[in-house]
């Protein structure tokens, strides 16, 4: 018996969490929190797990939408065994602790009990960690058959993994978030060499026309010359980034360009959680696949943003400010700073990644100098004086790469998750056209798919 049930993250990029039943073993793949929702609404539907066997949680990587609901799951199902890569475990310790204060500021619901620091400590200690390409066995007390699991480097962020499960005659591969192309620090993903029977794949960029996306190198050139334009006129640049993944890649990109004298040596400001995550990138640079192994992020000269008491200091001399959140969510540092930046004529805001249409980052990324924008209902309109430019440094596979994964792994059945309706449609139609005879399932939240 083989069943697949999404508890969130099907037909959307949200609280990614999928229940997989392999005969008598129950495995939960990822346990994310919806980044744009709060309280109970932001969690996967754990109630659907009642009366089902639940043995393991395997986490593909430490982004919020794949990890952050884990403490809530463990509260309800304390017997679950958690397995991640060592790097995901290290990052999870930082991000889960960091999210406690954010949750406290967001949530007022009585029935939504926020976890404690001590609970995170216990949870992290209980995580069993397995390196890439180290096979491990999943079994349960009453199981008659065993499952062999293996993590493959997914090339998305530090510690990210695709998950291979070999169960009786079936090979199942879950991509997690996967990037086949190289970034500045992380090389592209490694795929299993065996034939896969069931592929569970993300579809984030399936609706995005790749001809509109530059290669990482081309985008780096455009980014470099745009930074120089702003510096040359005496302006400062605000770059909103996710603290996990994007900060490290963009910081390394800027520093390497400065080393080659392609970007003028100006002050770089960073701060907060991202700096702690930099350490994990540094510690693991010889342990996992990595470009620029000699580069340590900690040694890049950076000024601490929390030490800035007067924001005018950031504009006195040209500077580059890398700060979270990546989508300029309300009351985050990047949101607060963006409101200062919007008023500064010679300065610029550069966006470097995807913006959800419901976020202030989306409003800013679509606006240009001279426009009047309102970031929140309760706030007055702001006339934009700064320059706004959008760049795309993607940590996800392009749509042709997603299809190349199908080609290489040659699965008979494909389950599409982690994408909006348009992306799932494009993937489904393209797979059926290029690989006739395959079975494609557009997964729907809370609806079980059964395989024979
Ligand atoms: Zn991710």
CATH number of the domain residue 312 falls in? 3.40.50.10890
Q: Clarify whether residues 203 and 296 are in a common domain.
A: no
Q: Clarify whether residues 200 and 237 are in a common domain.
A: no
Would you give the distance in Å from CA 259 to the centre of its chain?
A: 28
Q: Is the pLDDT of residue 25 over 80?
A: yes
Across all residues in the chain, what is the average pLDDT? 95
Q: How far is the CA of 396 from the centre of ligand 1 (A)?
A: 8
Final residue of a structural domain among 374, 390, 406: 390
Q: How far is the CA of 87 from the centre of ligand 1 (A)?
A: 14
CATH number of the domain enclosing 104 = 3.60.15.10
Annotate 319-351 with three-state secondary structure: EEEEECCCCCCCCCHHHHHHHHHCCCCCCEEEE
Is residue 231 classed as helix, strand or coil in its secondary structure? helix
CB 338 within 8 A of CB 326: no
Reference 140, options 188, 58, 79; nearest CA is 79
Q: Clarify whether residues 370 and 420 are in a common domain.
A: no
Instruction: Find the domain containing 266 and state its range.
Output: 214-390
Q: How many domains does the chain have?
A: 2
Q: How far is the CA of 61 from the centre of ligand 1 (A)?
A: 7
Q: What is the pLDDT of residues 250-279, one digit of tens each?
A: 999 999 999 999 999 999 999 889 999 999
- Per-residue b or e along 404-437, where b marks 16 or more CB atoms closer than 10 Å to that residue's CB: ebbeebebebbbbbbbeeebbbbbbebbeeebee
Reference 338, options 363, 313, 307, 303; nearest CA is 363
Model confidence band, residue 11 (pLDDT cutoffs 50, 70, 90): confident
Q: CA triplet 357, 362, 368: central angle to 5 degrees?
A: 140
Q: What is the pLDDT of residues 376-418, one digit of tens each?
A: 888 899 999 999 999 999 999 999 999 999 999 999 999 999 9
Q: Clarify whether residues 38 and 175 are in a common domain.
A: yes
Predicted confidence at residue 378, as pLDDT, reads 85
Q: How far is the CA of 204 from the centre of ligand 1 (A)?
A: 10
Q: Clarify whether residues 274 and 356 are in a common domain.
A: yes
Q: Is the pLDDT of residue 239 over 90?
A: yes
Average pLDDT over residues 11-40: 93
Model confidence band, residue 144 (pLDDT cutoffs 50, 70, 90): confident
Q: How far is the CA of 222 from the centre of ligand 1 (A)?
A: 25
Final residue of a structural domain among 351, 367, 390: 390
Q: Clarify whether residues 147 and 196 are in a common domain.
A: yes
Q: What is the pLDDT of residues 101-119, one digit of tens each?
A: 889 888 877 778 899 999 9
Q: How far is the CA of 177 from the centre of ligand 1 (A)?
A: 5
Q: Whats the size of the chain, residue-wise?
A: 452
Q: DSSP label at 27?
A: E
Average pLDDT over residues 166-183: 96
What proportion of the chain, given as a percentage, has pLDDT over 70? 100
Q: Is the pLDDT of residue 36 over 90?
A: no
CA distance readout (Å), 113 to 99, 108, 295, 323 = 14, 10, 42, 29
Average pLDDT over residues 23-37: 94
- The residue among 352 and 11 whose pLDDT is bigger is 352
Reference 23, options 167, 198, 199; nearest CA is 167
Average pLDDT over residues 46-64: 97
Predicted confidence at residue 312, as pLDDT, reads 94
Q: How far is the CA of 359 from the centre of ligand 1 (A)?
A: 18
Phi/psi at 283 (5° precision): -60, -30
Q: Clarify whether residues 224 and 344 are in a common domain.
A: yes
Q: How far is the CA of 63 from the centre of ligand 1 (A)?
A: 5
Q: Is the pLDDT of residue 142 over 80?
A: no
Q: Clarify whether residues 162 and 286 are in a common domain.
A: no
Predicted confidence at residue 139, as pLDDT, reads 87
Looking at the DSSP bridge assignments, the partners of residue 152 are 162
| Distance of alpha carbon 168 from alpha carbon 147, whole angstroms | 7
Q: Clarify whether residues 260 and 190 are in a common domain.
A: no
Phi/psi at 444 (5° precision): -120, 140
Q: Clarify whether residues 119 and 225 are in a common domain.
A: no
Average pLDDT over residues 289-308: 96
Predicted confidence at residue 104, as pLDDT, reads 87
Final residue of a structural domain among 372, 390, 408: 390
Q: Clarify whether residues 159 and 203 are in a common domain.
A: yes
Q: How far is the CA of 95 from the centre of ligand 1 (A)?
A: 13
Q: Clarify whether residues 192 and 340 are in a common domain.
A: no
Q: Among 23-37, 112-126, 130-144, 221-235, which stretch is predicted with the lowest mean pLDDT?
A: 130-144
Q: How far is the CA of 328 from the centre of ligand 1 (A)?
A: 17
Phi/psi at 102 (5° precision): -65, -45
Taking the CA of residue 356 as centre, how many other CA atoms within 13 Å lie in the half-sphere pointing to its CB? 16
In the structure encoding, which two tokens stand for residue 83, read together? 């397995």
Q: What is the pLDDT of residues 301-355, one digit of tens each?
A: 999 999 999 999 999 999 999 999 899 988 899 999 999 999 999 999 999 998 8
């Amino acid at each position: 018996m083989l069943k697949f049930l999404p508890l969130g993250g099907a037909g959307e990029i949200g609280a990614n969490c999928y229940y997989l039943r392999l005969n008598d073993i129950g495995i939960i793949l990822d346990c994310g929190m919806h980044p744009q929702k709060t309280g109970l609404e932001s969690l996967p539907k754990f109630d659907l797990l009642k009366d089902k066997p639940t043995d393991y949680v395997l986490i593909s990587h430490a982004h919020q939408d794949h990890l952050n609901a884990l403490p809530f799951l463990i509260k309800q199902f304390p017997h679950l065994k958690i397995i991640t890569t060592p790097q995901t475990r290290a990052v999870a310790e930082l991000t889960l602790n960091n999210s406690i204060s954010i949750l406290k500021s967001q949530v007022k619901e009585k029935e939504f009990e926020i976890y404690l620091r001590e609970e995170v400590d216990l949870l992290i200690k209980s995580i069993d960690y397995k390196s890439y390409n180290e096979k491990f066995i999943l079994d349960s007390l009453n199981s008659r058959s065993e499952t062999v699991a293996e993590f493959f480097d997914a090339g998305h962020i530090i510690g990210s993994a695709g998950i291979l499960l070999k169960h009786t005659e079936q090979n199942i591969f879950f991509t997690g978030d996967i990037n086949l192309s190289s970034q500045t620090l992380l090389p592209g993903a490694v795929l299993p060499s065996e034939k896969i029977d069931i592929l569970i794949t993300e579809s984030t960029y399936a609706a995005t026309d790749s001809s509109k996306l530059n290669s990482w190198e081309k985008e780096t050139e455009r980014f470099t010359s745009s930074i120089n334009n702003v510096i040359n006129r005496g302006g400062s640049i605000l770059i909103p980034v996710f603290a996990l993944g994007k900060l490290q890649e963009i910081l390394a990109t800027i520093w390497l360009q400065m080393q080659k004298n392609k970007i003028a040596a100006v002050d770089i400001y960073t701060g907060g959680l991202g700096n702690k995550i930099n350490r994990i990138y540094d510690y693991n640079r010889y342990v996992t696949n990595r470009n620029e192994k000699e580069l340590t992020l900690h040694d890049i000269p950076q000024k601490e943003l929390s030490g800035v008491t007067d924001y005018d200091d950031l504009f006195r001399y040209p500077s580059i400010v890398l700060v979270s959140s990546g989508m300029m969510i309300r009351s985050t540092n990047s949101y607060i700073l963006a409101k200062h930046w919007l008023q500064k004529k010679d300065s610029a805001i550069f966006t470097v990644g995807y913006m959800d249409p419901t976020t202030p980052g989306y409003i800013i990324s679509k606006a240009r100098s001279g426009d009047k924008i309102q970031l929140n209902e309760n706030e007055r309109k702001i006339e934009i004086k700064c320059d706004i430019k959008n760049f795309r440094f993607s940590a996800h596979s392009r749509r042709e790469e997603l299809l190349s994964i199908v080609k290489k792994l040659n699965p008979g059945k494909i389950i599409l998750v982690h994408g909006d309706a348009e992306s799932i449609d494009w993937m489904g139609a393209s797979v059926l056209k290029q690989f006739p005879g395959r079975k494609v399932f557009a997964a729907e939240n809370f609806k079980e798919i059964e395989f024979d």
